[in-house]
């Protein structure tokens, strides 16, 4: 009987929240509509914000068509950058425009599964965390990633832990979830992939402990459109060092 009691107690502690899902998007004409459908199928997002970051491959035409069918997507807003500015810039635009209590970042491809939103949101709903990261390295099912990608991820996470006295397992994960008040007024200078280390550094410097949950991961290959490059790793490392000592 005791496990049932604990489950009931946990359910009573959950607080209703409103959720903005932010989807930064660049040259994802083959994926963006299906990603949107998958997010909508979960039925947890009060607001979905797609930020097109100057796509040139036909993504904008897909989004314009979706806009013309907006009655089928009542919780959707689509914003456009006139030129490509980087993932970080697109996320910052989404943060600025979001109106809900909780903000969740969703990539515009199939690497991360929206069906895991309940797991990501649970610690925030229960009031035990303000920031939750979905970790690809905590035992969830995953497609084997490129070895050197794994080395870069592990190295950057280790640097984060040393510099900020943390015990993260996956700093570079896409699935980052924030109480809005944590990031709404945060000055974020990053415009590209250095967004991940900058926002992590600034959260940890606030004294906020990041809660991690295991997620699945279906990483794609370079020939499938993966955009992050090895050259982004030293930039991320420099970002971690820089924000350890400056605001």
Model pLDDT for residues 69-115, shown as the tens digit of each residue:
999 999 999 999 999 999 999 999 999 999 999 999 999 999 999 99
Residue with the two structure tokens 């979960």 = 42
DSSP, collapsed to helix, strand or coil, labels residue 105 as strand
Mean pLDDT of 231-235: 82
Q: Check residue 247 and give its pLDDT.
A: 81
Model pLDDT for residues 147-197, shown as the tens digit of each residue:
767 788 899 999 999 999 999 999 999 999 999 999 999 999 998 889 999
Predicted TM-score (pTM) of this structure: 0.88
At residue 223, does pLDDT exceed 50?
Answer: no
Structure tokens at 135: 């970790």
Q: Residue 48 sits in a domain of what CATH number?
A: 3.90.550.10
Q: Check residue 12 and give its pLDDT.
A: 52
Distance CA 120, CA 212 (A): 8
Q: Check residue 194 and give its pLDDT.
A: 93
Q: Which carries the bigger pLDDT value, residue 227 or residue 166? A: 166
Distance CA 17, CA 191 (A): 29
Q: Edge-to-edge, what's the strand order for the sheet holding 102-105? A: 76-81, 47-53, 19-25, 102-105, 176-179, 131-135, 211-214
Q: Check residue 203 and give its pLDDT.
A: 98
Counting the structural domains of the chain, the total is 1
At residue 234, does pLDDT exceed 50?
Answer: yes
Q: Which domain holds residue 173?
A: 2-245
């Amino acid at each position: 009987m005791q496990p049932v009691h604990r489950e009931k107690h946990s359910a009573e502690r959950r607080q209703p929240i409103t959720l903005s899902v932010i989807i930064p998007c660049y040259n994802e004409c083959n994926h963006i509509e299906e990603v949107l459908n998958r997010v909508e199928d979960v039925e947890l997002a009060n607001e979905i914000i797609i930020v097109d970051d100057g796509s040139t491959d036909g993504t904008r035409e897909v989004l314009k068509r979706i806009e013309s069918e907006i009655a089928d997507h009542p919780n959707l807003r689509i914003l456009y950058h006139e030129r490509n500015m980087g993932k970080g810039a697109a996320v910052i635009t989404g943060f600025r425009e979001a109106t809900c209590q909780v903000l969740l970042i969703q990539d515009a491809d199939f690497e991360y599964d929206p069906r895991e939103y309940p797991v990501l949101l649970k610690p925030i709903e229960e009031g035990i965390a303000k920031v939750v990261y979905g970790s690809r390295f905590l035992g969830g099912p995953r497609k084997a990633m490129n070895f050197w990608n794994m080395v870069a991820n592990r190295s950057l996470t280790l640097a984060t832990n040393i510099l900020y006295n943390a015990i993260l397992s996956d700093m570079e994960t896409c699935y980052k979830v924030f109480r809005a008040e944590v990031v709404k007024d945060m000055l974020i200078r990053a415009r590209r992939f250095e967004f991940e280390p900058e926002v992590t550094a600034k959260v940890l410097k606030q004294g906020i402990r990041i809660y991690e949950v295991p997620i699945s991961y279906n990483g794609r290959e370079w020939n499938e459109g993966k955009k992050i490059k090895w050259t982004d790793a030293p930039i991320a490392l420099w970002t971690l060092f820089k924000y350890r000592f400056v605001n």
